[in-house]
């Protein structure tokens, strides 16, 4: 399983990078989440179909510059049910596995606080049972250690709302479960750098949450 904000599939250079990544990751990961595809709805659908000819693609596309979220499930897995939020922020599916079913959701979080609050309200009301994995670019941080710089991306009231959701879903950070969360782990760096050459702003916006075997 893998996730990546591809920042546009319409750009030829980006497309080639994503194509190389899918060939490498596809050997191991049979469920992939992509965010920020851009390129226009028809082009996105065509590009994803070309990249993943042996997979079923669930795309929540938006015509804005944000590009939407996509969930790619290889045909080795049977999809029981699937859907999208409809505004480019989430695509999901329940998949048949050996001991039952697994829910997976690709997330491309909204940018402004009002849309984030609406997204969290939707997520709180989303009907879910059993095992779930939520992964993608959340466009926000919830812990102080996940952001450094003069303008840290801390959203206090939204962080509290998220904690309520994570408790309702019984979600935990996959990196914590795997024992790999030691110190900061940033997935976004600002282009502006300090006099020492370090990124001015760093944040951890891409995260994977699970409620599988957490107890």
CATH number at residue 168: 3.60.10.10
Residue reference for tokens 């938006």: 62
Residue 170 covered by a domain: yes
Query: Total domain count for the chain?
Result: 1
Per-residue pLDDT of the chain (215 residues; tens, 9 = 90+): 888 888 888 778 888 888 888 888 766 788 999 888 876 666 777 888 888 888 898 888 766 566 789 999 988 899 999 999 998 899 999 999 888 899 999 999 888 888 989 999 999 999 998 899 999 988 777 666 666 665 555 567 788 888 889 899 999 888 776 665 555 565 555 555 555 655 566 666 778 889 865 44
Residue 24 lies in a domain: yes
Residue 171 lies in a domain: yes
d(CA 201, CA 194): 9
Instruction: Phi first, then psi: give them for residue 48, nearest 5 degrees.
Output: -65, -40
Query: Strand, coil or helix: what is 32?
Result: strand
- Helix boundaries (H) for 90-178: 113-125, 156-169, 174-177
In a domain, residue 58? The reply is: yes
Determine contact, residues 89/106, Cβ cutoff 8 Å: no
Structural domain of residue 137, as residue ranges? Answer: 2-210
Instruction: Provide the whole-model pTM.
Output: 0.84
Cβ neighbors of 144 (< 8 A, separation 6 or more) are 152, 154
Residue 215 inside a domain? The answer is: no
Question: How remote is the C-alpha of 196 from its chain's centroid?
Answer: 32
Evaluate whether residue 206 is within a structural domain: yes
Residue 28 within a domain: yes
């Amino acid at each position: 399983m893998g996730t990546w904000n591809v920042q546009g599939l319409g750009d030829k250079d980006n497309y080639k990078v994503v194509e190389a990544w899918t060939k490498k990751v596809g050997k191991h990961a049979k469920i992939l989440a992509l965010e920020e595809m851009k390129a226009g709805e028809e082009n996105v659908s065509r590009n994803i179909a070309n990249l993943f000819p042996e997979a079923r693609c669930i795309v929540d596309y938006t015509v804005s510059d944000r590009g939407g979220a996509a969930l790619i499930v290889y045909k080795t897995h049977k999809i029981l049910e699937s859907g999208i939020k409809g505004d480019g922020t989430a695509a999901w599916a329940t998949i048949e596995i050996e001991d039952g079913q697994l829910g997976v959701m690709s997330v491309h979080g909204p940018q402004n606080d009002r849309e984030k609050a609406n997204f969290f309200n939707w997520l709180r009301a989303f009907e879910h049972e059993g095992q779930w994995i939520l992964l993608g670019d959340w466009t926000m941080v919830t812990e102080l250690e996940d952001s450094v710089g003069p303008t840290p991306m801390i959203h206090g009231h939204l962080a509290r709302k998220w904690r309520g959701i994570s408790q309702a879903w019984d979600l935990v950070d996959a990196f914590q479960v795997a024992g790999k969360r030691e110190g900061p782990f940033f997935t976004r760096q600002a282009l502006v750098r300090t006099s020492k050459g370090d990124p001015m702003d760093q944040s951890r916006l891409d995260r994977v949450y699970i409620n599988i075997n957490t107890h």
